[in-house]
Chains A and B, each alone.
Chain A
Amino acid sequence: MTAPFIADALGPRGKRRVLLASVVAGGLLAAMVVVAFLRLLHKGQFSDHLIAPLRQWSVQRFLLLGMVNTVKAALVAMVLAMAVGAFLALGRLSRTAPVRWLAGFYVEIFRAMPLILLMFFCALGLPKVGIHLTPFRSVVVALVAYNGAVLGEIFRAGILSLDRGQSEAASALGLTYWQSMGRVIVPQAARRMIPAIVSQLVTLLKDTSLGTVVNYDELLRRSRDTGTFYGNTLQVLTEAAVIYIIVNFTLSRIARRLEVRQRRKYKAGAITVTGVEDLAVVGAHAEAAIA
Chain B
Amino acid sequence: MDVVLDNLPAFLRGTRTTAELTVLSFLFALVLGTVVAGFRVSPVPPLRWLGTVYVEVFRNTPLLVLMFLFAFGFTKIGIQYPFFTSAIIVLSVYTGAFVAETVRAGINTVATGQAEAARALGLTFLQLLFLVVLPQAFRSVVAPLGSVFIALIKNSALAATIAVSDLTFLTIQLTNSTSRPVAVFLGSAFFYMLLALPSGWAVGWLERKLAVRR
Which A residues have a C-beta under 8 Å from some C-beta of B? 2, 4-8, 10, 14, 18, 21-22, 25-26, 29, 39-40, 43, 45, 108-109, 112-117, 120-121, 124-126, 128-129, 202, 206-207, 209-210, 212-213, 220, 223-224, 227, 233-234, 237-238, 240-241, 244-245, 248-249, 252, 275-281, 284
Which of A7, A125, A276 lies in contact with B115, CB distance below 8 A?
A7
Interchain residue pairs with CB less than 8 A apart (28): A2-B40, A2-B48, A2-B52, A7-B119, A22-B45, A25-B46, A25-B50, A109-B193, A113-B188, A113-B189, A115-B154, A116-B161, A117-B188, A124-B175, A126-B181, A128-B179, A129-B182, A209-B65, A213-B161, A220-B62, A220-B64, A220-B65, A227-B73, A244-B60, A275-B59, A276-B148, A278-B150, A280-B143
Cα A225 to Cα B118 with chains together (Å): 56
> What 7 pairs between A and B have smallest CB-CB spacing?
A125-B181, A114-B157, A280-B147, A234-B73, A248-B60, A209-B62, A278-B151
Q: Cβ of B1 < 8 Å from any Cβ of A?
A: no
- Contact flags B141-181 to A (C-beta < 8 A → 1, else 0): 00110111011001111101100000010011001100101
Which of B77, B110, B192 lies in contact with A114, CB distance below 8 A?
B192
Most buried by B among A26, A114, A240: A114
User: Given A8-B116, A113-B192, A252-B60, are A43 and B65 neighbors across the interface (CB < 8 Å)?
Assistant: no
Q: Are A6 and B192 in contact (CB under 8 A)?
A: no
- Contact flags B91-113 to A (C-beta < 8 A → 1, else 0): 00000001001100101101010
Q: Are B98 and A233 in contact (CB under 8 A)?
A: no
Cα A114 to Cα B59 with chains together (Å): 18
Q: Are A234 and B43 in contact (CB under 8 A)?
A: no
Which of A121, A125, A237, A284 lies in contact with B73, CB distance below 8 A?
A237
Q: Are A40 and B154 in contact (CB under 8 A)?
A: no
Q: Cβ of B212 < 8 Å from any Cβ of A?
A: no
Q: Are A25 and B47 in contact (CB under 8 A)?
A: yes
Q: Cβ of B69 < 8 Å from any Cβ of A?
A: yes
Which of A233, A245, A252, A275 lies in contact with B72, CB distance below 8 A?
A233
Q: Are B101 and A244 in contact (CB under 8 A)?
A: no
Q: Are B60 and A237 in contact (CB under 8 A)?
A: no
Cα A20 to Cα B12 with chains together (Å): 53
Q: Cβ of B41 < 8 Å from any Cβ of A?
A: yes
Q: Are B176 and A124 in contact (CB under 8 A)?
A: yes
Q: Are A241 and B184 in contact (CB under 8 A)?
A: no
Residues of B within 8 A of A29 (CB): 46, 50
Residues of B within 8 A of A223 (CB): 65
Shortest distance from the beta carbon of A211 to any chain B beta carbon, whole Å: 10
Shortest distance from the beta carbon of B66 to any chain A beta carbon, whole Å: 7
Which B residues have a C-beta under 8 Å from some C-beta of A? 40-48, 50, 52, 56-57, 59-66, 68-69, 72-74, 76-78, 98, 101-102, 105, 107-108, 110, 112, 115-116, 119, 125, 128, 133, 143-144, 146-148, 150-151, 154-158, 160-161, 168, 171-172, 175-176, 179, 181-182, 184-185, 188-189, 192-193, 196-197, 200
Residues of A within 8 A of B78 (CB): 39, 43
User: Given A121-B185, A233-B76, are A5 and B69 neighbors across the interface (CB < 8 Å)?
Assistant: no
Q: Are A6 and B43 in contact (CB under 8 A)?
A: yes
Q: Are A276 and B151 in contact (CB under 8 A)?
A: yes
Shortest distance from the beta carbon of B25 to any chain A beta carbon, whole Å: 14
Closest residue of chain B to A108 (Cβ to Cβ) is B193
State the main secondary structure of chain B at its contact with A: helix
Shortest distance from the beta carbon of A251 to any chain B beta carbon, whole Å: 9
Q: Are A234 and B74 in contact (CB under 8 A)?
A: yes
Q: Are B41 and A5 in contact (CB under 8 A)?
A: yes
User: Given A22-B44, A224-B68, A233-B73, are A245 and B192 neighbors across the interface (CB < 8 Å)?
Assistant: no
Closest residue of chain B to A124 (Cβ to Cβ) is B175
Q: Are A280 and B56 in contact (CB under 8 A)?
A: no
Which of B62, B125, B168, B171 lies in contact with A6, CB distance below 8 A?
B125
Shortest distance from the beta carbon of A177 to any chain B beta carbon, whole Å: 31
Cα A238 to Cα B125 with chains together (Å): 36
Which of B41, B61, B144, B158 lies in contact with A244, CB distance below 8 A?
B61
Q: Are B154 and A113 in contact (CB under 8 A)?
A: yes
User: Given A4-B41, A252-B60, are A120 and B175 neighbors across the interface (CB < 8 Å)?
Assistant: yes
Residues of B within 8 A of A234 (CB): 69, 73-74, 76-77
Cα A5 to Cα B116 with chains together (Å): 9
